[in-house]
Protein backbone atom coordinates (compact mmCIF):
# COMPACT_ATOMS: atom_id res chain seq x y z
CA UNK A 1 0.00 0.00 0.00
CA UNK A 2 1.35 3.46 -0.80
CA UNK A 3 2.50 5.65 2.07
CA UNK A 4 0.42 8.43 3.65
CA UNK A 5 1.59 11.98 4.38
CA UNK A 6 -0.04 14.95 6.07
CA UNK A 7 1.21 18.39 4.96
CA UNK A 8 -0.02 21.35 7.03
CA UNK A 9 -0.54 24.74 5.38
CA UNK A 10 -0.66 23.06 1.95
CA UNK A 11 -3.44 24.95 0.18
CA UNK A 12 -0.78 27.22 -1.34
CA UNK A 13 2.90 28.17 -1.38
CA UNK A 14 5.68 25.79 -0.35
CA UNK A 15 3.21 23.42 1.33
CA UNK A 16 1.37 22.89 -1.93
CA UNK A 17 4.70 22.33 -3.70
CA UNK A 18 5.63 19.73 -1.08
CA UNK A 19 2.24 18.00 -1.39
CA UNK A 20 2.58 17.86 -5.19
CA UNK A 21 6.06 16.36 -4.93
CA UNK A 22 4.93 13.71 -2.42
CA UNK A 23 2.01 12.82 -4.72
CA UNK A 24 4.53 12.35 -7.56
CA UNK A 25 6.52 10.12 -5.22
CA UNK A 26 3.43 7.90 -4.83
CA UNK A 27 2.15 9.16 -1.47
CA UNK A 28 -1.52 9.49 -0.59
CA UNK A 29 -1.64 13.00 0.82
CA UNK A 30 -3.80 14.80 3.37
CA UNK A 31 -3.83 18.50 2.58
CA UNK A 32 -4.51 20.78 5.51
CA UNK A 33 -4.96 24.53 5.81
CA UNK A 34 -6.70 27.23 7.83
CA UNK A 35 -8.01 28.74 4.58
CA UNK A 36 -10.85 26.34 3.82
CA UNK A 37 -11.91 27.91 0.50
CA UNK A 38 -8.39 27.74 -0.93
CA UNK A 39 -7.93 24.25 0.54
CA UNK A 40 -11.05 22.91 -1.22
CA UNK A 41 -9.94 24.50 -4.49
CA UNK A 42 -6.44 22.97 -4.27
CA UNK A 43 -7.81 19.53 -3.32
CA UNK A 44 -10.20 19.63 -6.32
CA UNK A 45 -7.39 20.63 -8.71
CA UNK A 46 -5.13 17.83 -7.47
CA UNK A 47 -7.94 15.26 -7.61
CA UNK A 48 -8.64 16.22 -11.22
CA UNK A 49 -5.00 15.42 -11.94
CA UNK A 50 -5.59 11.94 -10.52
CA UNK A 51 -4.08 12.41 -7.05
CA UNK A 52 -5.34 10.33 -4.11
CA UNK A 53 -5.85 13.22 -1.66
CA UNK A 54 -8.25 14.55 0.93
CA UNK A 55 -8.48 17.99 2.54
CA UNK A 56 -8.87 18.65 6.26
CA UNK A 57 -9.29 22.25 7.43
CA UNK A 58 -7.60 23.22 10.67
CA UNK A 59 -5.44 25.65 12.61
CA UNK A 60 -2.00 24.28 13.56
CA UNK A 61 -1.89 26.46 16.67
CA UNK A 62 -4.80 24.45 18.12
CA UNK A 63 -3.62 21.18 19.63
CA UNK A 64 -6.99 19.48 19.05
CA UNK A 65 -6.91 20.40 15.34
CA UNK A 66 -3.53 18.69 14.95
CA UNK A 67 -4.80 15.47 16.53
CA UNK A 68 -7.95 15.77 14.38
CA UNK A 69 -6.01 15.88 11.10
CA UNK A 70 -4.09 12.73 12.09
CA UNK A 71 -7.39 11.03 13.03
CA UNK A 72 -8.89 11.97 9.65
CA UNK A 73 -5.78 10.75 7.79
CA UNK A 74 -6.01 7.35 9.47
CA UNK A 75 -9.78 7.19 8.95
CA UNK A 76 -9.38 7.88 5.21
CA UNK A 77 -6.16 6.00 4.43
CA UNK A 78 -5.68 3.53 7.31
CA UNK A 79 -2.21 4.68 8.38
CA UNK A 80 0.25 7.57 8.69
CA UNK A 81 3.89 7.54 7.55
CA UNK A 82 4.99 11.17 7.25
CA UNK A 83 3.85 14.39 8.92
CA UNK A 84 5.09 17.69 7.49
CA UNK A 85 4.76 20.63 9.90
CA UNK A 86 4.84 23.21 7.11
CA UNK A 87 2.37 25.94 8.10
CA UNK A 88 4.01 29.13 9.31
CA UNK A 89 3.56 32.89 9.28
CA UNK A 90 5.85 35.92 9.06
CA UNK A 91 6.08 39.25 10.89
CA UNK A 92 8.13 42.26 9.80
CA UNK A 93 8.57 44.78 12.62
CA UNK A 94 11.30 47.11 13.92
CA UNK A 95 12.56 45.55 17.16
CA UNK A 96 11.38 48.39 19.40
CA UNK A 97 7.83 48.01 18.07
CA UNK A 98 7.40 44.26 18.64
CA UNK A 99 4.34 43.79 20.83
CA UNK A 100 2.77 41.00 22.82
CA UNK A 101 0.16 40.23 20.16
CA UNK A 102 2.83 39.66 17.49
CA UNK A 103 4.95 37.44 19.74
CA UNK A 104 1.93 35.37 20.73
CA UNK A 105 0.58 35.06 17.17
CA UNK A 106 3.87 34.05 15.54
CA UNK A 107 4.93 31.65 18.30
CA UNK A 108 1.43 30.10 18.50
CA UNK A 109 1.56 29.10 14.84
CA UNK A 110 5.25 28.60 14.05
CA UNK A 111 6.32 26.98 17.32
CA UNK A 112 3.28 25.63 19.19
CA UNK A 113 1.99 24.29 15.86
CA UNK A 114 5.16 22.25 15.32
CA UNK A 115 5.05 20.86 18.87
CA UNK A 116 1.38 19.82 18.58
CA UNK A 117 1.87 18.34 15.09
CA UNK A 118 4.87 16.35 16.31
CA UNK A 119 2.92 15.03 19.30
CA UNK A 120 -0.10 14.03 17.20
CA UNK A 121 2.02 12.28 14.54
CA UNK A 122 4.30 10.56 17.07
CA UNK A 123 1.34 9.22 19.03
CA UNK A 124 -0.01 7.62 15.85
CA UNK A 125 3.39 6.15 14.83
CA UNK A 126 3.81 4.64 18.31
CA UNK A 127 0.29 3.18 18.15
CA UNK A 128 0.98 1.68 14.71
CA UNK A 129 4.37 0.33 15.88
CA UNK A 130 5.89 1.48 12.60
CA UNK A 131 8.68 3.86 11.80
CA UNK A 132 7.62 7.43 11.12
CA UNK A 133 9.00 10.67 9.78
CA UNK A 134 8.28 14.16 11.06
CA UNK A 135 9.54 17.00 8.89
CA UNK A 136 9.42 20.60 10.13
CA UNK A 137 9.50 23.94 8.30
CA UNK A 138 12.48 25.83 9.65
CA UNK A 139 14.23 28.54 7.58
CA UNK A 140 17.57 30.22 6.98
CA UNK A 141 16.09 32.44 9.73
CA UNK A 142 16.45 29.41 12.01
CA UNK A 143 20.23 29.63 11.54
CA UNK A 144 20.71 33.40 11.12
CA UNK A 145 18.77 36.22 12.81
CA UNK A 146 17.57 39.00 10.53
CA UNK A 147 16.80 42.67 11.19
CA UNK A 148 13.08 43.45 11.08
CA UNK A 149 12.43 39.70 11.32
CA UNK A 150 13.35 39.21 14.99
CA UNK A 151 10.15 37.45 16.07
CA UNK A 152 10.12 35.25 12.97
CA UNK A 153 13.83 34.39 13.33
CA UNK A 154 13.39 33.51 17.01
CA UNK A 155 10.41 31.30 16.18
CA UNK A 156 12.42 29.41 13.57
CA UNK A 157 15.35 29.00 16.00
CA UNK A 158 12.81 27.45 18.35
CA UNK A 159 11.69 25.08 15.57
CA UNK A 160 15.32 23.98 15.14
CA UNK A 161 15.63 23.38 18.87
CA UNK A 162 12.39 21.37 19.03
CA UNK A 163 13.61 19.38 16.02
CA UNK A 164 16.78 18.46 17.94
CA UNK A 165 15.10 17.64 21.26
CA UNK A 166 12.14 15.70 19.84
CA UNK A 167 14.44 13.67 17.55
CA UNK A 168 16.45 12.56 20.60
CA UNK A 169 13.36 11.52 22.56
CA UNK A 170 11.55 9.83 19.66
CA UNK A 171 14.51 7.90 18.21
CA UNK A 172 13.73 4.89 20.42
CA UNK A 173 10.43 4.48 18.54
CA UNK A 174 12.22 4.64 15.16
CA UNK A 175 10.70 8.06 14.53
CA UNK A 176 12.97 10.58 12.83
CA UNK A 177 12.51 14.34 13.09
CA UNK A 178 14.23 16.67 10.64
CA UNK A 179 13.68 20.17 9.29
CA UNK A 180 14.03 21.89 5.92
CA UNK A 181 15.36 25.43 5.93
CA UNK A 182 14.34 27.34 2.78
CA UNK A 183 15.97 30.61 1.74
CA UNK A 184 14.09 33.19 -0.34
CA UNK A 185 11.08 31.67 -2.10
CA UNK A 186 8.62 33.79 -4.02
CA UNK A 187 5.37 32.82 -2.28
CA UNK A 188 2.64 34.98 -0.74
CA UNK A 189 4.78 35.05 2.40
CA UNK A 190 7.59 36.90 0.63
CA UNK A 191 5.09 39.23 -1.11
CA UNK A 192 3.97 40.24 2.41
CA UNK A 193 7.53 40.53 3.79
CA UNK A 194 8.52 42.70 0.82
CA UNK A 195 5.47 44.97 1.24
CA UNK A 196 6.15 45.41 4.96
CA UNK A 197 9.87 46.10 4.48
CA UNK A 198 9.00 48.73 1.88
CA UNK A 199 6.44 50.28 4.25
CA UNK A 200 9.05 50.53 7.03
CA UNK A 201 11.82 51.90 4.73
CA UNK A 202 10.66 55.54 4.73
CA UNK A 203 10.67 55.69 0.95
CA UNK A 204 14.11 54.10 0.52
CA UNK A 205 12.64 50.96 -1.07
CA UNK A 206 10.06 50.39 -3.81
CA UNK A 207 7.81 47.31 -4.07
CA UNK A 208 9.91 44.29 -5.04
CA UNK A 209 13.21 45.82 -3.94
CA UNK A 210 13.47 44.15 -0.51
CA UNK A 211 12.92 40.79 -2.22
CA UNK A 212 15.53 41.70 -4.85
CA UNK A 213 18.07 42.74 -2.19
CA UNK A 214 17.66 39.46 -0.31
CA UNK A 215 17.82 37.42 -3.54
CA UNK A 216 20.89 39.26 -4.82
CA UNK A 217 23.13 37.34 -2.42
CA UNK A 218 22.10 33.88 -3.66
CA UNK A 219 25.15 32.13 -5.15
CA UNK A 220 23.16 30.09 -7.67
CA UNK A 221 21.73 33.34 -9.03
CA UNK A 222 17.99 32.77 -8.72
CA UNK A 223 15.29 32.84 -6.08
CA UNK A 224 13.77 29.64 -4.75
CA UNK A 225 10.70 27.90 -6.18
CA UNK A 226 8.42 25.44 -4.31
CA UNK A 227 9.90 22.52 -6.30
CA UNK A 228 13.33 23.19 -4.73
CA UNK A 229 11.82 22.71 -1.28
CA UNK A 230 9.68 19.77 -2.45
CA UNK A 231 12.84 17.97 -3.61
CA UNK A 232 14.47 18.14 -0.16
CA UNK A 233 11.27 17.10 1.63
CA UNK A 234 10.87 14.25 -0.88
CA UNK A 235 14.28 12.93 0.18
CA UNK A 236 13.63 13.43 3.91
CA UNK A 237 10.28 11.60 3.54
CA UNK A 238 11.90 8.65 1.73
CA UNK A 239 13.56 5.52 3.07
CA UNK A 240 16.85 7.00 1.84
CA UNK A 241 16.75 9.36 4.83
CA UNK A 242 16.22 6.58 7.39
CA UNK A 243 19.60 7.24 9.04
CA UNK A 244 19.19 11.03 9.28
CA UNK A 245 17.56 12.57 12.33
CA UNK A 246 17.67 15.83 14.27
CA UNK A 247 18.97 17.85 11.31
CA UNK A 248 17.82 21.24 10.02
CA UNK A 249 19.01 21.21 6.40
CA UNK A 250 19.38 24.43 4.43
CA UNK A 251 18.10 24.64 0.86
CA UNK A 252 18.75 28.23 -0.26
CA UNK A 253 20.85 28.20 -3.44
CA UNK A 254 23.88 29.27 -1.41
CA UNK A 255 23.08 32.16 0.90
CA UNK A 256 23.63 31.05 4.49
CA UNK A 257 26.60 28.74 5.10
CA UNK A 258 26.55 26.41 8.13
Ligand X SMILES: NC(=O)c1ccc[n+]([C@@H]2O[C@H](COP(=O)([O-])OP(=O)(O)OC[C@H]3O[C@@H](n4cnc5c(N)ncnc54)[C@H](O)[C@@H]3O)[C@@H](O)[C@H]2O)c1
Q: Which residues bind ligand X (CB under 6 A)?
A: 8-9, 11-15, 33-35, 59-61, 86-89, 109, 137, 139, 182, 184-185, 187-190
Give the number of other Cβ atoms within 10 Å of residue 77's Cβ.
22
Determine which one of 3, 156, 180, 223 is catalytic. 156
Q: How far is the CB of 182 from ligand X (least distance, A)?
A: 4
φ/ψ bin of 78: left (φ > 0), alpha (ψ from -120 to 50), beta (otherwise): left
Q: How far is the CB of 174 from ligand X (least distance, A)?
A: 26
Q: Which is nearer to ligand X, 8 or 166 (CB)?
A: 8
- What are the C-alpha distances in Å from 109 to residues 78, 90, 152, 170, 202? 28, 10, 11, 22, 30
DSSP 3-state assignment of 87? coil
Determine which one of 152, 172, 240, 243 is catalytic. 152
Q: Which is nearer to ligand X, 77 or 116 (CB)?
A: 116
Distance (Å, whole) CA 158 – CA 160: 5
HSE, side-chain direction, 13 A CA sphere, residue 17: 18
Q: How far is the CB of 161 from ligand X (least distance, A)?
A: 15
Give just the sign of the alpha carbon dihedral 229, 69, 113, 189.
Answer: positive
Give the number of other Cβ atoms within 10 Å of residue 128's Cβ.
14
Measure the CA angle with vertex 145, ends 169 and 167; round to 5°: 10
Q: Which is nearer to ligand X, 9 or 55 (CB)?
A: 9
- Would residue 156 show up in a list of annotated catalytic residues for this protein? yes
Q: Which is nearer to ligand X, 12 or 178 (CB)?
A: 12
- Would residue 152 show up in a list of annotated catalytic residues for this protein? yes
Distance (Å, whole) CA 250 – CA 156: 13
Furthest C-alpha separation in the chain: 58
Q: How far is the CB of 188 from ligand X (least distance, A)?
A: 4
Q: How far is the CB of 15 from ligand X (least distance, A)?
A: 5
Size of the chain, expressed as the number of residues it contains:
258
What is the DSSP code (8-state) at residue 204? S
Catalytic residues: 152, 156
Amino acid sequence: MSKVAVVTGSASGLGRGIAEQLIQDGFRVVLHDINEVLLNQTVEELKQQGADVIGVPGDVSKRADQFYVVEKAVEAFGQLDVFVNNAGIDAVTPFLEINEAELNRVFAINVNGVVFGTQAAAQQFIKQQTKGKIINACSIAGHESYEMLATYSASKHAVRSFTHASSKELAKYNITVNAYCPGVAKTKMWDRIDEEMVRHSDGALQIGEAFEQFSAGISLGRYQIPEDVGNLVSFLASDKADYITGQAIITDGGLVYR
